[in-house]
Amino acid sequence: MVDSLTCAVCGGSVPLDEDHHYVTDEKKRMHDRDEQDEFVLHDRCARATFEGWWSP
């Protein structure tokens, strides 16, 4: 059985043996410790979401 996570874009499962992307959302808090959320995206979902951010 292959570990999988939930894609933050389409909500589908992301098998960790396929191409995928991690996105880290770091919150800066004034009074609490910083909090880091990590999202996993399918390669195709990441491309669709961040199209234009990346150079070809």
Interacting residues toward Zn ion by CB under 5 A: 7, 9-10, 42, 45
Contacts of 40 (CB under 8 A, 6+ apart): 5, 6, 7, 8, 14, 20, 21, 22, 23
Q: Which CB sits closer to Zn ion, 45 or 56? A: 45
Q: How far is the CB of 54 from Zn ion (least distance, A)?
A: 17
Q: Which CB sits closer to Zn ion, 10 or 23? A: 10
Provide the H-helix boundaries in the chain: 43-50
Q: How far is the CB of 9 from Zn ion (least distance, A)?
A: 5
